Amino acid sequence: YGGISDGDQVVLTAYFKPTPSIAQPQMARNNRGEVEEVIITGRHDPLIVPRAVVVVESMTAITILDAMMKNMSATLEGMQKFYQK
């Protein structure tokens, strides 16, 4: 929820599911560029927390821009007004 039209803060609630480990043998490149087989045992989830804020901010910006463009292009007059500035 949020009041974009009246300048209020936009408040989001985001949820992330655990990133799963793939327990099947996979072919991957190491840091030297060599192809090798990787086998993951147990659960080794990468930590999403440091990247979560960037992901949420980016997707929010894209969603707001998309809504603005849809609104702007709803009428020809709206597009002309936008591009005349």
- The 10s digit of each residue's pLDDT in 20-66 is 777 789 899 989 999 999 888 776 666 777 788 888 899 988 988 88
- Please report the pLDDT score of residue 10 as a whole number: 76
10 or 26, higher pLDDT = 26
Max distance between CA atoms of the chain, in angstroms, equals: 60
pLDDT band at 12 (very low <50, low <70, confident <90, very high): confident
pTM of the model: 0.49
- Please report the pLDDT score of residue 24 as a whole number: 85
Specify whether the CB–CB gap between 60 and 68 falls below 8 A: no
